[in-house]
Amino acid sequence: DTAVSQTPKYLVTQMGNDKSIKCEQNLGHDTMYWYKQDSKKFLKIMFSYNNKELIINETVPNRFSPKSPDKAHLNLHINSLELGDSAVYFCASSQTVAGNTIYFGEGSWLTVV
Amino acid sequence: EDQVTQSPEALRLQEGESSSLNCSYTVSGLRGLFWYRQDPGKGPEFLFTLYSAGEEKEKERLKATLTKKESFLHITAPKPEDSATYLCAVLGGGSNYKLTFGKGTLLTVNP
């Protein structure tokens, strides 16, 4: 069973489009995250949610809007996609926010053309 | 702001040739230091968490150690399947519980 699963794995879209990436975890964790890995492989946090409540919003353009319908799901919606949004987006989860191990999904490869 | 620097950026070893990867960090109040392995096209896979200076953890050919300023990932007698990017990350003592990653070390083990 996949612990943190995200869909789609690959996404190619045109500039200006709106797209969503879905994420689900079956670990019973309270905290979920979205990370972005750019072309230089640098992994940076974008958002984190604890029990559906936003706790980290890391200077991300407001074209990016996370939504957590329940603590097992954290979706990422991106409006008006730009070329610079091309990256790998990783969903992750941890038991709580405080120092617990973070488990990552397999990633969603977004290419904006 | 928390900072993590990993060295070297890339390391090429022969099978059986032991070596170490370095992770230097500056953080206000370390809550945990994490090592992950990332294979091409995959998400980071958790390896170890270290919480305090002097702590050591081992898993197969890997051993992680921690001091107040840095962590080492020692690889003993590596095999080609150990080839991957190894990522180090710290969780600082700030109120936002943000995990800060280094840029990783790309390890290649030749048979």
How confident is the model over B73-110, as pLDDT tens digits? 999 999 999 999 999 999 887 766 788 999 999 999 99
Is residue A85 classed as helix, strand or coil in its secondary structure? helix
CA quadruple B15, B65, B49, B41: dihedral positive or negative? Answer: negative
Residue among B50, B32, B29, B48 at smallest CA distance from B86: B48
Q: Which of B97, B101, B106, B107 to mutate to test the interface with A (most CBs of A within 10 A)?
A: B97
Q: Which of A59, A60, A90, A101 to mutate to test the interface with B (most CBs of B within 10 A)?
A: A101
Q: Does A42 touch chain B (CB under 8 A)?
A: yes
Q: Which residue ranges in chain A fall short of pLDDT 50?
A: none
State residue A60's pLDDT score. Answer: 83
B43–A4 CB contact, under 8 Å: yes
pLDDT, tens digit, 9 for 90 and up, residues B7-38: 999 999 999 999 999 999 998 888 899 999 99
State residue A39's pLDDT score. Answer: 81
Residue among B90, B78, B109 at smallest CA distance from B36: B90
Could you tell me whether strands B70-75 and B62-66 are parallel, antiparallel, or unpaired per DSSP bridges? antiparallel
Q: How far apart are the first and last CA of chain A?
A: 34
CA quadruple A99, A35, A9, A39: dihedral positive or negative? Answer: negative
Residue among B89, B91, B81, B93 at smallest CA distance from B105: B89
Task: Determine contact, residues B33/B71, Cβ cutoff 8 Å.
Answer: yes
A76: closest CA of chain B, how far (Å)? 17
Cis peptide before B8 (omega within 30 of 0): yes
Q: State how far the Cα of A93 lies from the Cα of A18, in Å rounded to an integer.
A: 25
